[in-house]
């Protein structure tokens, strides 16, 4: 029988550490100093603690919209660590950790979660958008952002994120296709956490991997163990460096799993995934794996762990205080932010709201 | 001064603006080598290079999203949607993204972009080319929508649109592209994005229109004066978002009667909004109800009956007669 029509796996899978923290691919070990390795661990612990706290605060009504991140720390933190500060991130709605380490003040994230405009009024010296709610919209914007860098001759890269569900969007294809056609400095990351809310990736596509979707766009695609922070860093670093050097865009699929629910708005994972599956992924916890690796190298102690946890708690407390002290946004303020120059009709509507509300 | 068609005036505006500011980019399907399917960008790629005037892959959301990304990083994109009926493909990037960027980021980022697009009926296109979809963007906060009715306005409005720091939808009626020539100044000039234009003075009735319907309304007004001695004032809105209600009210204070003519189907569109605003600002100056002369609430028809579907001078005239009798 002819095999011409048989689909085949066309993208590589990258892993550096196995789930026990043992190096299985020494050739791929990234060139990171001990201090960088410790920093990666510190950030993962910081985020794991922050996530637990955010979940509690959401239940208490002190946070608004929140999509838990536990389980995905390696793909989030490892990928962001591979970027430069002036590289531009176009995140999906779950990608809070990357933004926090790319310069988003934590209190502004809290305000964003609560639905306050100041949350996404990013500080002047930072380079990212607030989380995107439409699943594929940021992919096409990334092509445009990267084209701007290319046309201006800036050595910057646009990095974007979506999930497994996002790869079904038309904008996903349009984004990677435009980026390929214009050969722009962009890195497209898919965090495949196995479920788009409740729909498993197997129902999302007949494609064996999500990375292979790069083939149709004519750009490199690679699948990486998204729970292996060293592999994520290595793959993203290479893609970012290549993009910066004029080598064009890359699609990266980070294979991972979210331990918690989709969001804190009533999602119940027991309706769509088994305890067995959750147990399998707990064995691949990105923190456990990297901690074992560092401990074997004598680079991480219980004291370090406690310090990182404490730091996270304190940062969250300070951020909450600052967020609580921020004045509420106003209707006149909202109207003013619609245009650079307000049309007369909107000026008239603005006048319908009292000065009291403005103050 | 030169005699120009509307398409020439548009090319001329793009040319002058491309020369003025290196951040201005012109792109879309077939706009590069081919100069656009209507030749609106004819010769511009040769003059300004492939980095500034270029073809894109055939995907409207990609085109609009590209414009959002570019605009956010300080470029000044002028993107073409080849026919406005295709804009549904780009709705999220325009209405969900570009128009919200300034608000979302409290001004940290904005989208100074122009979406240019041909639209309008009477030229026997296949489906999804001729539809008047401007009403969708009348309901979209955060953008301006301008629709020129002649070459002079087309050039001045397009230059204003490109220089504006917020998203502007710039709609070009296909039937007007080459139907008239007009004296157009050689140099760059602007026409304000939010001011209507009184194109025919009159004292007995106000007719409000935009795009190709301005010319239909003018024909009906001429006929009305010839046959009945009734003098209709005709207002060309030029911008449908925002609507220049002051110019409309000033006219109604003089005429006390009004009719709105539009090429879009009847409900919840520009005519409805104009009438709502007249109700708010000028109801006590009216001697009768404000009527709308529009096609019925159907999809845009296949070409064979489009000329009957679009308001004709005869239908407008009948509408004006009716408004005068109420």
Task: Note the residue count of chain B.
Answer: 326
Q: What pLDDT sits at residue B15?
A: 98
Cβ within 8 Å, pair B142-A120: no
ipTM of the shown complex: 0.96
- Residue range A201-221, pLDDT digits in tens: 999 999 999 999 999 999 999
Query: Chain B residues with CB-CB distance to A under 8 A?
Result: 25, 51, 56-57, 59, 61-62, 64-75, 77, 92-93, 96-97, 102-110, 141-142, 144, 164-166, 194, 242-243, 245-246
Cβ within 8 Å, pair B65-A137: yes
Average pLDDT over residues A95-124: 97
Residue A12 has pLDDT above 90, yes or no: no
Closest by CA to B107, choosing from B24, B38, B166, B185, is: B166
> In chain B, whose CA is at the least distance from the CA of A172?
B62
Cβ within 8 Å, pair B75-A338: no
Estimate to the nearest angstrom the gap between the alpha carbon of B218 and the chain centroid: 17
Alpha helices in chain A (DSSP H): 34-59, 73-81, 96-101, 106-114, 137-152, 170-182, 201-204, 213-217, 229-244, 275-282, 286-296, 302-324, 331-336, 344-350, 355-358
Using CA atoms, how far residue A255 sits from A42, A104, A224, B326, in Å, is 22, 26, 6, 71
List of chain B residues with pLDDT < 70: none
Residue A359 has pLDDT above 90, yes or no: no
Distance CA(A133)–CA(A215), nearest Å, equals 27
Query: Chain A residues with CB-CB distance to B under 8 A?
Result: 88, 90, 117-118, 120-122, 124, 129-130, 134, 137, 139-149, 151-152, 158, 170-171, 174-175, 177-178, 181, 334, 337-341, 343-346
Cβ within 8 Å, pair B96-A120: no
**SS3 call for B100:** helix
Closest by CA to A18, choosing from A279, A192, A231, is: A231
Of residues A358 and B188, more confidence is placed in B188
Q: Which of B62, B92, B108 lies closest to A143 in CB terms?
A: B62
Neighbour count for residue A202 (Cβ, 10 Å): 9
| Six-digit token string for A320 | 């909450």
Q: What pLDDT sits at residue A4?
A: 60
Q: Give percent above pLDDT 90 in chain A.
A: 94
- Residue range A220-264, pLDDT digits in tens: 999 999 999 999 999 999 999 999 999 999 999 999 999 999 999
Confidence bin at A8 (pLDDT 50/70/90): low
User: C-alpha angle with apex B251: B248 to B254, nearest 5 degrees?
Assistant: 150
> In chain B, whose CA is at the least distance from the CA of A129?
B105
The C-alpha of A344 sits at a distance from chain B's nearest C-alpha, in angstroms, of: 8
Using CA atoms, how far residue A79 sits from A163, A274, B152, in Å, is 14, 29, 52
What residues of A act catalytically?
Answer: 258, 262, 272
- Residue range A24-35, pLDDT digits in tens: 999 999 999 999
Confidence bin at A1 (pLDDT 50/70/90): very low
| Beta-carbon-side half-sphere exposure of residue A173 (alpha carbons within 13 Å) | 10
Distance CA(B235)–CA(B141), nearest Å, equals 24
Closest by CA to B175, choosing from B203, B140, B149, is: B149
Distance CA(A198)–CA(A271), nearest Å, equals 8
- Residue range A300-311, pLDDT digits in tens: 999 999 999 999
Cβ within 8 Å, pair A174-B65: yes
What residues of B act catalytically?
Answer: 129
Q: What pLDDT sits at residue B92?
A: 98
Distance CA(B75)–CA(B78), nearest Å, equals 10
**SS3 call for B122:** coil
The answer to whether residues A29 and A234 touch, using CB atoms and an 8 Å cutoff, is yes
Q: What is the pTM of this model?
A: 0.96
């Amino acid at each position: 029988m002819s095999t011409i029509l048989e689909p085949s796996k066309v993208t590589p899978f990258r892993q550096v550490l196995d789930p026990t923290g043992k190096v299985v691919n020494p050739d791929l070990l990234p060139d990171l100093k001990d201090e960088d390795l410790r920093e990666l661990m510190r950030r993962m612990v910081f985020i794991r603690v922050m996530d637990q706290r955010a979940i509690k605060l959401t239940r208490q009504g002190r946070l608004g919209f929140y999509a838990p991140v536990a389980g995905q720390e390696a793909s989030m933190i490892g990928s962001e660590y591979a970027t430069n500060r002036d590289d531009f991130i176009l995140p999906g709605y779950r990608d809070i950790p990357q933004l926090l380490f790319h310069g988003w003040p934590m209190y502004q994230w809290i305000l964003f979660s609560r639905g306050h405009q100041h949350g996404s009024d990013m500080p002047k010296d930072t380079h990212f958008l607030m989380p995107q709610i439409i699943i594929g919209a940021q992919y096409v914007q990334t092509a445009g952002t990267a084209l701007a860098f290319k046309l201006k001759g800036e050595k910057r890269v646009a990095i974007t994120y979506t999930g497994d569900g996002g790869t079904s969007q038309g904008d996903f294809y349009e984004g990677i296709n435009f980026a390929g056609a214009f050969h722009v400095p962009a890195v497209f990351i898919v965090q495949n956490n196995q479920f788009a809310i409740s729909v498993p990736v197997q129902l999302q596509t007949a494609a064996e991997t999500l990375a292979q979707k790069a083939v149709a766009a004519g750009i490199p695609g690679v699948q990486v163990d998204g729970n292996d922070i060293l592999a994520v860093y290595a793959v993203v670093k290479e893609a970012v460096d290549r993009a910066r050097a004029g080598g064009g865009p890359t699609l990266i699929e980070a294979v991972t799993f979210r331990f918690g629910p989709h969001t804190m708005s009533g999602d119940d994972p027991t309706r769509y995934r088994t305890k067995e599956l959750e147990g399998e992924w707990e064995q691949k916890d990105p923190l456990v794996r990297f901690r074992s690796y560092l401990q074997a190298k004598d680079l991480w102690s219980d004291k370090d762990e406690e310090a990182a946890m404490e730091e996270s708690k304190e940062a969250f407390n300070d951020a909450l205080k600052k967020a609580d002290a921020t004045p509420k946004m106003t209707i006149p303020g909202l109207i003013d932010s619609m245009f650079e120059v307000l049309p007369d009709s909107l000026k008239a509507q603005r006048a319908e709201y009292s000065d009291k509300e403005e103050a | 001064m030169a005699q120009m068609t509307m398409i020439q005036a548009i090319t001329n505006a793009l040319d002058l603006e491309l020369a003025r500011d290196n951040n201005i980019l012109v792109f879309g399907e077939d706009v590069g080598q081919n100069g656009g399917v209507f030749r609106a960008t004819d010769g511009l790629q040769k003059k300004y290079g492939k980095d500034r005037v270029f073809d894109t892959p055939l995907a409207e959301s990609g085109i609009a999203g590209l414009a959002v990304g570019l605009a956010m990083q300080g470029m000044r994109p002028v993107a073409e949607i080849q026919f406005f009926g295709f804009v549904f493909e780009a709705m999220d990037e325009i209405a969900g993204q570009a128009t919200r960027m300034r608000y979302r980021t409290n001004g940290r980022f904005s989208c100074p972009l122009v979406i240019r697009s041909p639209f309008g009926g009477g030229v026997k296109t296949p489906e999804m080319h001729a539809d008047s979809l401007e009403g969708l963007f009348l309901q979209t906060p955060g953008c301006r929508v301008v629709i020129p009715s002649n070459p002079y306005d087309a050039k001045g409005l397009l230059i204003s649109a490109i220089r504006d720091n917020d998203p502007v939808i710039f709609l070009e009626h296909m039937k007007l592209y080459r139907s008239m020539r007009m004296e157009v100044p050689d140099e760059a000039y602007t026409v304000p994005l939010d001011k209507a234009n009184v194109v025919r003075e009159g004292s007995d009735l106000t007719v409000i229109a935009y795009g190709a319907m301005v010319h239909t309304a003018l024909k009906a007004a001429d006929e009305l004066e010839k046959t009945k001695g009734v003098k209709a004032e005709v207002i060309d809105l030029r911008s449908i978002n925002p609507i220049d209600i002051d110019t409309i009210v000033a006219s109604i204070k003089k005429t006390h009667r009004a009719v709105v003519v539009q090429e879009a189907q009847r409900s919840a569109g520009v005519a409805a909004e104009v009438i709502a605003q007249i109700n708010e600002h000028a109801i006590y100056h009216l001697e009768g109800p404000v009527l709308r002369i529009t096609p019925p609430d159907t999809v845009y028809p296949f070409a064979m009956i489009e000329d009957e579907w679009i308001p004709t001078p005869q239908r407008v005239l009948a509408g004006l007669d009716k408004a005068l009798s109420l």
